[in-house]
Amino acid sequence: MSLIKQIDHIAIAVNDIQEASTFFVDVLGLEVSAPQDVPEQKTRVAFVQIGEVRIEFVQPMSDDSPVAKFIAKRGQGIHHVAYETGDIVGALATMKAKDVPLIDKEPRVGAHDAKIAFVHPKGVSGVLTELCEPKKS
Ligand code: ZN
């Protein structure tokens, strides 16, 4: 059995959500959600639903946001890939047991009240990876 159900979202680090939305709205005809602040990360995020998967725009709200540092170093671009799990605590326990390097050893609360945890890119071929267990509605 896989720990993962599906890709939940792919996050793109952007300087400006409004500007980044233009392609998705004006060209692709998709809708972008209202931006939501994530004060803990000093970011603002917005989502584009595409079938079962979402694109997440992540915009830094201050120069000391981790995403500001990411953009300063690597430019705008894919920031992380998020995988949905039904059991984030179990997934983290499995990863700890297999020596996967974790940024978050315990789940924390992310956008939309989902439980999230980040896996270090060095364990995932250089890609920052998020585990996410959506809030049960
Ligand atoms: Zn994310």
Query: What distance in angstroms lies between residue 24's CA and the mean position of ligand 1's atoms?
Result: 18
Q: What pLDDT, in 10s, does the model give residues 50-64?
A: 999 999 999 999 999
* pTM (two decimals): 0.90
Ranges of each domain in the chain:
6-133
Query: What distance in angstroms lies between residue 56's CA and the mean position of ligand 1's atoms?
Result: 7
Handedness of CA 112, 48, 41, 44 (dihedral sign): negative
Query: What distance in angstroms lies between residue 89's CA and the mean position of ligand 1's atoms?
Result: 17
Query: What distance in angstroms lies between residue 79's CA and the mean position of ligand 1's atoms?
Result: 9
For the domain 6-133, what is the CATH code?
Answer: 3.10.180.10
Q: How many other CB atoms are there within 10 angstroms of residue 129's CB atom?
A: 19
Residue 137 scores a pLDDT above 70: no
Q: What pLDDT, in 10s, does the model give residues 54-108?
A: 999 999 999 999 999 999 999 999 999 999 999 999 999 999 999 999 999 999 9
Residue 28, pLDDT score: 97
Q: Which of 121, 117, 120 is nearest to 130 (CA)?
A: 117
